[in-house]
């Protein structure tokens, strides 16, 4: 009888801990959503008013059209999709070379990738700015793409290499006997077998590029070329912030992230934890 | 690389047993696979790293017509005599000392609560993880709003709803109150990540260890101290190193809430170097700060790693 009571108590404590954690995690975001449904929220009235007041989606329409958020959304989508494709393609090629070949200088390549993994990305924002200036890529979406591919390559190459090494080498050898060259082994053996790793790398690059703010804020001036994070920061940075409008923009920016998260939840969790447990 | 490819060692055997590469030595097809990615990587990451080192030794300004002169370690010396730089470092230290243990303890508590079967387990895990996937820009703007002096949710909870305080706090107008809000954001956004990694580590602890402990009469807390914690030591080390690196990289949340103000009281190294570079156009000084911060992060990571592996060995002995 006492054991049963103890079990009940433990379950109750677990539910309490998790309920409080979930409540604290979600309340700010729910409050943000409720504010986005309030019109002309320049002056903060009171939280009671935010919760009970009239609800309208007018802010969403206004942010999308007059706030030019549609342009920012397209810019973000364009840059993010291009980044994702290039990181997965170039990264998987590098990962294949590092996982399957012995060649002079391999350890140097590897050391450079690990080294850059440890350098904080904002540390490079100053010389990257000079580089973009020299290449005439300031205020240019290609400048965003180039740096996003470069900064996301190291981690994702590392991630995919780990997966490639787990694919049995006997499969390669069988294909070599059949006369398949390196490129064919890459396209018709590695890529199909490594789909889960490619998906994980794609999600990481997508989320990384979609949310990137510092570099975009540094090189983009033209409002027509802004990405979503810059646009949202601009909405809130104006002298008197229209919180309803700002948070409508923020909620729009969150939609693709949530969609990707819910569809690819398992790959994402697998990617995050596999790296951690191996180290 | 092209020179290396043309200077191929033609005498090398085409194939080596047990190695599925069809060429070896300088003729290895690996170079062709590395080439495009490594070209981008070199241009965007490696070259700027070298460039940053050179700039940190120069008086470097992007303004037209200004000549960039070599000044040796003057930019580094400037930082050592700059009280705002030291305050920024101290603020980072406080942020690290608060948010790293905060995320570890709360994340571990959530992970332990999620470790065994429970109705609604996936839903709880997703809810706690959602702040991790929301962007720093969105949540920074959101926390500016939540901690607003008039009509912010936090002040409303403290003063109006519960009367814990007579009146609301002017959060972002003082050094320590602003740090409370900024650290709060850091912990809130990070707990889901530590929870997820701790959970994976807990799941990997063999059930047989717990069964053996049960036989020996170890219960609840004893099991946690003597089995769970030692089993996840390496994961805890990994999490600590990653969180310390992340804490010294704090930037967006500070820039979008206080922007280092009022009067530079809440600067952190990255907001300060950004201001030096892009407001005052002193790229040399900004690069020097960047290098010192990187050196500190490297030293801290290596220090924690060797301390952690040593204590792991002691425990095993």
Q: What is the pLDDT of residues A117-146, one digit of tens each?
A: 878 778 899 999 999 999 999 999 999 999
pLDDT at B314: 67
- Give the pLDDT confidence score for residue B215 in this predicted structure: 84
Nearest Cβ partner of A246 from B32, B141, B150?
B141
Instruction: Give the residue with greater pLDDT, A117 vs A173.
Output: A173
**pLDDT for B116 beyond 90:** no
pLDDT of residue B12: 42
Mean pLDDT for B75-81 is: 93
Sign of CA dihedral B243, A117, B287, B135: negative
Q: pLDDT digit string (tens) for B217-237?
A: 777 788 888 888 988 998 999
List the domain boundaries for chain B: 2-56, 76-316
Using alpha carbons, select from B313, B140, B241, B72 the residue that is nearest to residue A236.
B140
The rounded distance, in Å, linking the Cα atoms of B138 and B290 is 26
* For chain A, percent of residues with pLDDT exceeding 70: 95
Is the per-residue pLDDT at B176 higher than 80? yes
- Asked if residue A141 lies in contact with residue A75, where contact means CB atoms within 8 angstroms, the answer is yes
Q: Between B80 and A47, where is the model more confident?
A: B80
The verdict on a CB contact (< 8 Å) between A127 and B156 is no
SS3 A34: helix
Lowest mean pLDDT among A22-36, A127-141, B50-64, B270-284: B50-64
Q: How far apart are CA A82 and CA A189, in angstroms?
A: 24
A211-245 confidence digits (pLDDT tens): 999 999 999 999 999 999 999 998 887 656 788 88
Q: Is the pLDDT of residue A153 over 90?
A: yes
Contacts of B94 (CB under 8 A, 6+ apart): B179, B183
Taking the Cβ of residue B290 and every Cβ of chain A, the question of whether any pair is shorter than 8 Å is answered with yes
Residues 6+ apart with CB under 8 A from B185: B139, B140, B143, B253, B257
pLDDT, greater one: A47 or A78: A78
User: Is any Cβ of chain B less than 8 angstroms from the Cβ of A153?
Assistant: yes
Cα A47 to Cα B159: distance, rounded to the nearest angstrom: 12
Q: Is A3 exposed, middle or buried (0-12, 13-18, 19+ CB in 10 A)?
A: exposed
Structure tokens at B120: 């609604």
Asked if residues B33 and B52 have their Cβ atoms less than 8 Å apart, the reply is no
Q: Is A101 on the interface with B (CB under 8 A)?
A: yes
Taking the C-alpha atoms of residue A115 and residue A120, their distance in angstroms, rounded to an integer, is 10
Q: Does the pLDDT at position B11 exceed 70?
A: no
Q: Which residues numbered 10-49 in A keep a CB inside 8 Å of some CB on B?
A: 11, 13-15, 17-18, 21-22, 24-26, 28-29, 31-32, 35, 43-47
Give the Cα separation of B53 and A124 in Å (integer). Answer: 10
Name the average pLDDT for chain B: 86
Question: What pLDDT is recorded for position A66?
Answer: 79
Q: What is the mean pLDDT of residues A187-214?
A: 92
Q: Which phi-psi region, left, alpha or beta, contains residue B259 (left: φ > 0; alpha: ψ -120 to 50)?
A: left
Residues of B in contact with A104 (CB under 8 A): 25-26
Higher-confidence position of B210 and A251? A251
pLDDT confidence of residue A201: 92
Q: What is the pLDDT of residue B210?
A: 84
**Percent of chain A's residues with pLDDT above 90:** 54
Which single residue is written with the structure tokens 């065994």? B116
Min Cα distance B33 → chain A (Å) is 5
Taking the C-alpha atoms of residue A66 and residue A69, their distance in angstroms, rounded to an integer, is 8
**Any idea how long chain A is?**
279
Q: What is the C-alpha to C-alpha distance for residues B181 and B145, in angstroms, rounded to an integer?
A: 11
ipTM rounded to 2 decimals: 0.90
Measure in Å the smallest separation between the Cα of A18 and chain B Cα atoms: 6
**B185: phi then psi, degrees, rounded to nearest 5:** -60, -45
pLDDT tens, A48-93? Answer: 778 877 788 888 998 898 778 999 999 999 999 999 999 999 999 9
pLDDT at A41: 65
Q: What 8-state DSSP symbol labels residue B16?
A: B
Does residue B71 sit in helix, strand or coil? coil
Of B24-33, B93-102, B125-134, B260-269, give the lowest mean pLDDT range: B24-33
Which range is least confidently modeled, A60-64, A263-267, B107-111, B190-194? A263-267
- Asked if B195 and A271 count as a contact pair (C-beta separation under 8 A), the reply is no
User: What does the DSSP assignment read for B39-50?
Assistant: HHHIIIIIHHHH
Q: What is the mean pLDDT of residues B267-278?
A: 94
Q: Check whether A95 has a pLDDT greater than 90.
A: yes
- Of A11, A202, A186, A168, nearest in space to A95 by CA: A186
Task: Locate the chain A residue with the closest alpha carbon to B259.
Answer: A237
Q: Does B101 touch chain A (CB under 8 A)?
A: no
Domains of chain A, with CATH numbers? Answer: 61-278 (1.10.3720.10)
- Tell me which residues of chain B, numbers 4 to 63, contact chain A at a CB-CB cutoff of 8 Å: 15-16, 19-26, 28-34, 36-38, 40-41, 43-49, 51-52, 55, 62
Judge whether residue B20 has pLDDT over 50: no
Distances (CA, A) of B123 to A10, A73, A256, B104: 19, 29, 20, 21
Query: Would you say the C-alpha torsion B184, B187, B189, B191 has a positive or negative sign?
Result: negative
Q: Is A271 on the interface with B (CB under 8 A)?
A: no
pLDDT at A278: 56
- The DSSP 8-state label assigned to residue A213 in this structure reads -
Task: Note whether B88 and B272 are within 8 A (CB).
Answer: yes
- B52 and A254 in contact by Cβ < 8 A? no
DSSP A45: -
| Domain B76-316: CATH class, spelled out | mainly alpha
């Amino acid at each position: 009888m006492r054991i049963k009571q103890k079990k009940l108590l433990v379950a109750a404590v677990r539910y309490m801990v998790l309920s409080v954690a979930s409540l604290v995690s979600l309340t700010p975001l729910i409050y943000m959503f409720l504010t986005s449904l309030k019109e002309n929220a320049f002056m903060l009235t009171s939280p009671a008013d935010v919760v009970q007041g009239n609800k309208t989606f007018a802010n969403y329409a206004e942010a999308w059209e007059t706030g030019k958020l549609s342009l920012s959304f397209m810019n973000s989508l364009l840059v993010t999709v291009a980044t994702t494709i290039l990181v997965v393609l170039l990264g998987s090629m590098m990962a294949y070379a590092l996982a399957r070949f012995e060649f002079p200088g391999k350890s140097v390549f590897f050391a450079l990738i690990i080294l850059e993994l440890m350098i904080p990305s904002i540390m490079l924002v100053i010389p990257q700015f000079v580089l973009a200036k020299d290449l005439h890529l300031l205020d240019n979406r290609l400048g965003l793409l180039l740096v996003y591919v470069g900064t996301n390559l190291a981690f994702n190459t590392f991630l995919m290499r780990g997966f490639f090494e787990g694919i049995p080498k006997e499969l390669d050898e069988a294909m070599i006997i059949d006369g398949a060259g390196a490129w064919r082994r890459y396209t018709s053996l590695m890529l199909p077998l490594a789909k889960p790793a490619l998906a994980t790398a794609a999600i990481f690059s997508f989320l990384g590029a979609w949310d990137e703010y510092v570099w975009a804020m540094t090189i983009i001036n033209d409002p027509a070329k802004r990405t979503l994070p810059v646009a949202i920061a601009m909405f809130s940075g104006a002298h008197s912030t229209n919180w309803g409008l700002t948070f409508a923009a923020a909620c729009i920016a969150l939609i693709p992230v949530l969609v990707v998260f819910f569809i690819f939840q398992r790959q994402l969790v697998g990617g995050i934890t596999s790296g951690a447990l191996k180290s | 690389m092209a020179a290396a490819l043309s200077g191929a060692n033609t005498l090398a055997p085409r194939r080596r047993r047990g190695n599925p590469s069809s060429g070896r030595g300088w003729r290895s097809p690996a170079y062709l696979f590395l080439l495009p990615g490594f070209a981008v990587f070199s241009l965007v990451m490696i070259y700027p790293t070298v460039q940053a080192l050179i700039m940190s030794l120069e008086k470097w300004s992007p303004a037209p017509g200004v000549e960039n002169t070599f000044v040796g370690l003057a930019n580094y010396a400037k930082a050592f005599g700059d009280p705002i730089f030291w305050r920024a470092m101290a603020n980072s230290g406080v942020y690290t000392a608060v948010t790293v243990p905060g995320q570890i303890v709360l994340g571990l508590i959530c992970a332990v609560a999620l470790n065994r079967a429970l109705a609604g387990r996936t839903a709880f895990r997703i809810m706690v993880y959602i702040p991790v996937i929301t962007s720093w820009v969105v949540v920074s703007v959101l926390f500016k709003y939540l901690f607003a002096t008039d009509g912010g949710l936090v002040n409303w909870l403290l003063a109006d709803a519960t009367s814990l305080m007579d009146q609301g706090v002017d959060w972002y107008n003082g050094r320590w109150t602003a740090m409370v809000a900024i650290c709060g954001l850091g912990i809130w956004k990070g707990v889901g990540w530590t929870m997820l990694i701790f959970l994976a580590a807990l799941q990997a602890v063999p059930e047989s260890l717990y069964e053996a402990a049960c036989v020996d009469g170890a219960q609840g807390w004893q099991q946690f101290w003597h089995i769970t914690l030692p089993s996840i030591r390496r994961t805890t080390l990994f999490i600590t190193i990653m969180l310390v690196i992340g804490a010294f990289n704090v930037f967006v949340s500070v820039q979008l809430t206080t922007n280092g103000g009022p009067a530079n009281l809440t600067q952190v190294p990255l907001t300060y170097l950004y201001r030096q570079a892009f407001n005052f156009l002193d790229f040399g000084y900004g690069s020097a700060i960047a290098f010192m911060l990187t050196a500190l992060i490297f030293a801290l990571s290596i220090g924690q790693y060797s301390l952690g592996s040593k204590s792991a060995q002691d425990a095993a002995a």
